[in-house]
């Protein structure tokens, strides 16, 4: 099972002077059970792309399928398929509106027509998952929380709907380093422990390198690169042409190689990079000893 896009194009405000093609013939697969990262410069079409995934925008041309079902048909199955995809917008805390955190998180599940016990159970579970203690925060106004807590409460509101696929648009934007770290860990855990398929947009290649199994890079509405991180990050020149930077670690490894250091393979996470450098240093020592 997966989300599939076939030759999807999207034009904003067709037939007006403001007409703009935001997606051009994009075909890609988002496999179930993985973490897929989407990167691109502002205006590269990545936000338009994710809005295609649950039918918020309908393609001008092409087909979007979730688990094999075309979600833009007017059928009950199509509507059910759309519900498999949960969406967390950028600065998700701006969608909070209820009097209490509990009520806000319950909003989505309640719209799904679930029983009160089920809703209650899901709210507790979701709050627990994003590290908001139920007894402390459930009855508080969401607007009394700190920025990072508000963000997590908003994400809990989507998790409580138990989507199979969870799309997050720049989930850590505007948070401080600690907040970024905490939230990225939570997202990883959502995947590892709950088995949710994650799709996230990020500008930060370091974060992408740490989390993603698959990387998609967009440029001017077109798919520029798609593949496993180790393949994609090899193309540092192409990534640069899209207005992005390959992960700092892979650039460091490249520089060291160019300077003549005997490094085997490539690395894009700090952990692996440091090990590779150490291996190279060991070999150098051995050579010198001989």
Partner 1 sequence: MLRHLLIEVERLDFIRCENLTHIYNQGMENEYKALDNVSLSIKEGEFVTILGTNGSGKSTLAKHFNALLQPASGKCFVGGRDTSDEKLLWDIRQQIGMVFQNPDNQIIAAIVEDDVAFGPENIGMKPSLIKEHVASALAAVDMEDYRSFAPHLLSGGQKQRIAIAGAIAMNPQCLVLDEPTAMLDPQGRLEVMSTVKQLNHDHSITIINITHFMDEAALADRVIVMDKGKVVKEGTPREIFSDAISMKRMGLDVPVVAEVAFRLKDRGENIPEGIMTTEELVNALCQ
Partner 2 sequence: MLTEMTLGQFMPGASLLHRMDPRVKIILLFLYVVAIFLMDGHGSYALMTAVTLGLILMSGLSVIMILKSVRPIMWIILFTFIIHLFSTPGEEIAKILAFTMTWEGLDRGFLISLRLILLITASSLLMYTTSPLALTDALEDILKPLKKVGFPAHELAMMMTIALRFIPTLIEETDKIMKAQQCRGTDFSSGSLIRRAKMLVPILVPLFISAFRRADDLAIAMEARCYRGGTGRTRMKRLKVGKLDYYCIACFAVLLSGLAALTYLGI
- Site of interaction with partner 1 (CB under 8 A): 41-43, 146-148, 173-179, 203, 206, 243-245, 248-249, 251-252, 255-256, 259-261, 270, 273-274, 277-278, 281
Distance separating alpha carbons of residues 75 and 62, to the nearest angstrom: 18
Q: With respect to partner 1, which residue has the nearer C-beta, 147 or 195?
A: 147
- 218: exposed, middle or buried (Cβ count in 10 Å: 0-12, 13-18, 19+): buried
Q: With respect to partner 1, which residue has the nearer C-beta, 57 or 249?
A: 249
Rounded least distance, CB 38 to partner 1, Å: 13
- 134: exposed, middle or buried (Cβ count in 10 Å: 0-12, 13-18, 19+): middle
Q: With respect to partner 1, which residue has the nearer C-beta, 63 or 175?
A: 175
Rounded least distance, CB 72 to partner 2, Å: 15
Q: Which residues bind partner 2 (CB under 8 A)?
A: 12-13, 18, 20, 51, 54, 56, 86-87, 89, 92, 94-97, 107-108, 110-112, 143, 157-158, 161
Rounded least distance, CB 206 to partner 1, Å: 7
257 binds, among partner 2, partner 1, none (CB under 5 to 8 A by kind): none
Q: How far apart are the first and last CA of the chain?
A: 55
Residue 206: name the closest of 233, 225, 224 by CA: 233
Rounded least distance, CB 21 to partner 2, Å: 13
Q: With respect to partner 2, which residue has the nearer C-beta, 18 or 289?
A: 18
174 binds, among partner 2, partner 1, none (CB under 5 to 8 A by kind): partner 1
Beta strands, E only, 147-260: 165-169, 197-201, 214-219, 222-227
Distance separating alpha carbons of residues 218 and 37, to the nearest angstrom: 11
What is the helix, strand, coil percentage profile of the chain, to 5? 45, 20, 35
206 binds, among partner 2, partner 1, none (CB under 5 to 8 A by kind): partner 1
Rounded least distance, CB 195 to partner 1, Å: 30
Tell me the Cα Rg of the chain: 21
Instruction: List CB contacts of 280: < 8 A, sequence separation 6 or more.
Output: 256, 261, 262, 263, 264
């Amino acid at each position: 099972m997966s989300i599939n896009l076939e030759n999807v194009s999207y034009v904003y405000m067709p037939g007006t002077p403001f007409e703009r093609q935001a997606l051009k013939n994009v075909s890609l697969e988002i496999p179930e059970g993985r973490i897929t990262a989407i990167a691109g410069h502002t205006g590269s079409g990545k936000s338009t792309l994710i809005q295609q995934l649950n039918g918020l925008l309908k393609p001008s041309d092409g087909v979007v399928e979730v688990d094999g079902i075309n979600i833009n048909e007017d059928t009950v199955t199509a509507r059910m398929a759309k519900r498999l995809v949960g969406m967390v917008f950028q600065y998700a805390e701006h969608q909070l509106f209820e009097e209490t955190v509990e009520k806000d998180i319950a909003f989505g599940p309640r719209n799904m027509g679930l029983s009160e016990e089920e809703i209650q159970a899901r709210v507790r579970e979701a709050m627990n998952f994003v590290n908001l203690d139920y007894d402390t925060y459930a009855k508080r106004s969401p607007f009394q929380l700190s920025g990072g807590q508000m963000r997590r409460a908003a994400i809990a509101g989507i998790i409580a709907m138990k989507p199979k696929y969870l799309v997050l648009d720049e989930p850590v934007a505007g948070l401080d380093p600690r907040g970024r770290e905490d939230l990225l860990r939570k997202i990883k855990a959502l995947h590892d422990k709950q088995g949710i398929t994650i799709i996230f947009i990020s500008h930060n290649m370091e974060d992408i390198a740490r989390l993603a199994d698959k990387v998609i890079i967009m440029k001017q509405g077109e798919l520029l690169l798609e593949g496993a991180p180790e393949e994609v990050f090899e193309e540092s020149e192409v990534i640069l042409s899209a207005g992005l930077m390959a992960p700092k670690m892979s650039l460091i490894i490249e520089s060291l190689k160019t300077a003549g250091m005997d490094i085997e393979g490539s690395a894009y996470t700090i952990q692996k990079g440091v090990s590779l450098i150490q291996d190279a240093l060991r070999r150098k020592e051995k050579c010198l000893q001989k």
